[in-house]
Amino acid sequence: MVYLNGNFIEKDQAYVSVMDRGFLFGDGIYEVFPAYNRKIIGLDSHLNRLQDGLDAISIKNPHSKDEWKNLINKIISFDSINENQAVYLQISRGSDKNRKHTYGELKPTVFIQSSVIKLREKSTLLNGLSAITREDIRWLKSDTKATSILANTLYAQEAKNNDAEETILYRDGIVTEASSSNVFMVKDKCLFTHPKGPNILPGVTRKKTIECAKASNLKVVESRFTKQQLMEADEVWVTSSTREILPITSIDGIEISNGCAGPIWSLVYDQYQLLK
Amino acid sequence: MVYLNGNFIEKDQAYVSVMDRGFLFGDGIYEVFPAYNRKIIGLDSHLNRLQDGLDAISIKNPHSKDEWKNLINKIISFDSINENQAVYLQISRGSDKNRKHTYGELKPTVFIQSSVIKLREKSTLLNGLSAITREDIRWLKSDTKATSILANTLYAQEAKNNDAEETILYRDGIVTEASSSNVFMVKDKCLFTHPKGPNILPGVTRKKTIECAKASNLKVVESRFTKQQLMEADEVWVTSSTREILPITSIDGIEISNGCAGPIWSLVYDQYQLLK
């Protein structure tokens, strides 16, 4: 069952008009809420970011926080088997009578669905995962979690085509983030990640990872670093709500961190598990 | 009547799955074909650009050129009254069972509709139209006519909010194009427009405008110019398939071309009308 515009229906019965601006223009905002044991990590942070996204593109939020929480919990309850779920929530600007770039007052389209989170056990991550790198050509509003993300999907597909977990992006030589995750590197026991701003999504898991690192008495620096510095890092991680904190041990075919998940990753990974 | 995946149906009956990647990711390509007296200007150019777009994002073209021409002509024939129509054609990558950024083999979703072109008479354009300017923050693949165009719609809305016809974009001080049209300027009887490349859509009307200018014995230079040069131009135009060639006589509230459509615009505008 999914939620669409006020109704709980079967996913294969869930349709939107071809006039929906989500379909015609990628004119929408989305969120992914990770639930472990049916409890969402960072629920308020995700709802705040949803609000920020709607504000950024001038869509009026159709629900209060409590209404969203009820809808999300209801969607989670439909799956009686899986305790760990990723709830996907999309709000598009809605359907107009005719296709035109500009818009008036429209009723937003709301779509919510849940899927199972298949987490990898820590023991399977000890050799790490691989990534490729590409020039970041996305729009300069990547802090807005919009549905106009063709670029991100093309990067994800390039990773898949290269048997890699992720595509790490760099703009003017500076590592920004990855196709659907934030990027961290460890150098001399200090954790680095790109500062918040228009070039990266302010990941909720990014924030939680920073908190976990600080709780582990690590120094965290939110500052820019180059692709070259990334390649010479002691450890590299990518973080996202559904993938948590993943160690990257190969980038563009070059071994990072001697091909093993590092000790600082292990420490912060364990700390993150305590949030569940 | 519209066309959707093999069927001609009423527009208010035309729905796509919420799993359509056009809806979830803005993962699609589109074209707008302008028909005058039911005959499309630049039909092959538009179909070639459609192919380029599909190639750029690795969607297999579901139809041959002749099949497209038949579908487009059939859509045009449904409106028995209006001879001048804009045919909108969108191909998204299709629907998957689950939402994921990567994709396998999917059946593309094809949507075609027609709307009336309401052209403004030349006599109504003699005082020109206004534009605003904004920093171009779009992705660096703006030569691909993709449906991930939230940025373009936001620019169009800003123009509307400012009672302007268009938002003219500049990147690093260089004028690229406008939210849904190409930009030309005239200086010392020479016509300038941004060269083709990843920063602009290679407009079919842009190409036709260049041809019309050359047919009028004008010198045309496809080279970059600054926002400052734009503001000091003798004439400024924007061109698109459905708006043809429009004179801009006010930019950011500053008068251009003494507030009147210029003589070179008039010459090229007339030449363009001969294409119909």
Distances from the Cα of B126 to the Cαs of A47, A149, A218, B122, B180, in angstroms?
Answer: 50, 40, 67, 7, 22
* Interface pTM, i.e. ipTM: 0.97
Mean pLDDT value of segment A101-120: 96
**Pick from A110, A116, A112: nearest CA to A86:** A116
Residues 6+ positions from B199 with CB-CB distance below 8 Å: B136, B140, B142, B143, B171, B176, B177
The SS3 assignment for A128 reads coil
Chain B residue closest in CA terms to A20: B23
Q: Which residues of A belong to the active site?
A: 145
Q: Which of residues 227-246 of B touch A (CB under 8 A)?
A: none
Residue A219 near chain B (CB below 8 Å):
no
How far apart are alpha carbons A148 and A159 in whole angstroms?
Answer: 19
Mean pLDDT of chain B: 97
What single DSSP character describes residue A11?
A: G
Q: Is residue A158 within 8 Å of A132, Cβ to Cβ?
A: yes
CB-CB under 8 Å, B15 with A12: no
Q: Which of residues 38-67 of B touch A (CB under 8 A)?
A: 57-58
CB-CB under 8 Å, A98 with B115: yes
Residue A153 near chain B (CB below 8 Å):
yes
What is the distance in angstroms between the Cα of B94 and the nearest Cα belonging to chain A? 11
Sign (positive/negative) of CA torsion A251, A257, A261, A266?
A: negative
**Pick from B185, B165, B194, B176: nearest CA to B234:** B185
Q: What is the 3-state secondary structure (H, E, C) of A132-167?
A: EEEECCCCCCCCCCECCCHHHHHHHHHHHHCCCCEE
For residue B119, what pLDDT is reported?
Answer: 83
Give yes or no for residue B83 having a pLDDT over 90: yes
What confidence category does residue B32 fall into, taking pLDDT thresholds of 50, 70 and 90?
A: very high
Structure tokens given for A39: 């409890």
B39 given a catalytic annotation: no
What is the distance in angstroms between the Cα of B187 and the nearest Cα belonging to chain A? 31
Structure tokens given for B40: 């499309």
Residue B176 near chain A (CB below 8 Å):
no
Residues of B with CB below 8 A from A32's CB? none
Residue B4 near chain A (CB below 8 Å):
yes
**Pick from A209, A192, A187: nearest CA to A257:** A187
Residue B197 near chain A (CB below 8 Å):
no
Supply the DSSP string of B128-195, one letter for each residue.
-EEEEEEE--S-S-TTS-BS--HHHHHHHHHHHHTT-SEEEEEETTEEEEETTBEEEEEETTEEEEPP
Distances from the Cα of A219 to the Cαs of A272, B24, B173, in angstroms?
Answer: 16, 38, 39
Fold of B2-116: D-amino Acid Aminotransferase; Chain A, domain 1 (3.30.470)
How far apart are alpha carbons B252 and A71 in whole angstroms?
Answer: 45
- Of residues B15, B98, B180, nearest to A101 (C-beta): B180
- Of residues A18, A22, A151, nearest to B139 (C-beta): A151
**In chain B, what percentage of residues exceed pLDDT 70?**
100
CB-CB under 8 Å, A18 with B16: yes
Tell me the per-residue pLDDT of B202-224, one tens digit each, with 9 for 90 and over. Answer: 999 999 999 999 999 999 999 99
Fold of A122-273: D-amino Acid Aminotransferase; Chain A, domain 2 (3.20.10)
What is the distance in angstroms between the Cα of B118 and the nearest Cα belonging to chain A? 13
What confidence category does residue A224 fall into, taking pLDDT thresholds of 50, 70 and 90?
A: very high
Mean pLDDT value of segment B60-80: 97
Tell me the per-residue pLDDT of B251-276, one tens digit each, with 9 for 90 and over. Answer: 999 999 999 999 999 999 999 999 98
Mean pLDDT of chain A: 97
Give yes or no for residue B18 having a pLDDT over 90: yes
Q: Is residue B144 within 8 Å of B30, Cβ to Cβ?
A: no
Chain B residue closest in CA terms to A146: B150
For residue B232, what pLDDT is reported?
Answer: 98
Tell me the per-residue pLDDT of A18-47, one tens digit each, with 9 for 90 and over. Answer: 999 999 999 999 999 999 999 999 999 999
Chain B residue closest in CA terms to A137: B140
Structure tokens given for B112: 């075609």
Sign (positive/negative) of CA torsion B146, B151, B156, B159?
A: negative
What is the distance in angstroms between the Cα of A187 and the nearest Cα belonging to chain B? 31
For residue B209, what pLDDT is reported?
Answer: 98
CB-CB under 8 Å, A26 with B147: yes
**Pick from A42, A13, A114, A14: nearest CA to A73:** A114
CB-CB under 8 Å, B140 with A18: no
Residue A2 near chain B (CB below 8 Å):
yes
Report helix angle B204-215 to B43-56, nearest 10: 140
Size of interface A-B (CB pairs under 8 A): 144
CB-CB under 8 Å, B154 with A26: no
Give yes or no for residue A119 having a pLDDT over 90: no
* Partners of B38 in beta bridges: none
Domain residue spans of chain A: 2-116, 122-273
**Are both B2-116 and B122-273 of the same fold?**
no
**In chain A, what percentage of residues exceed pLDDT 90?**
99
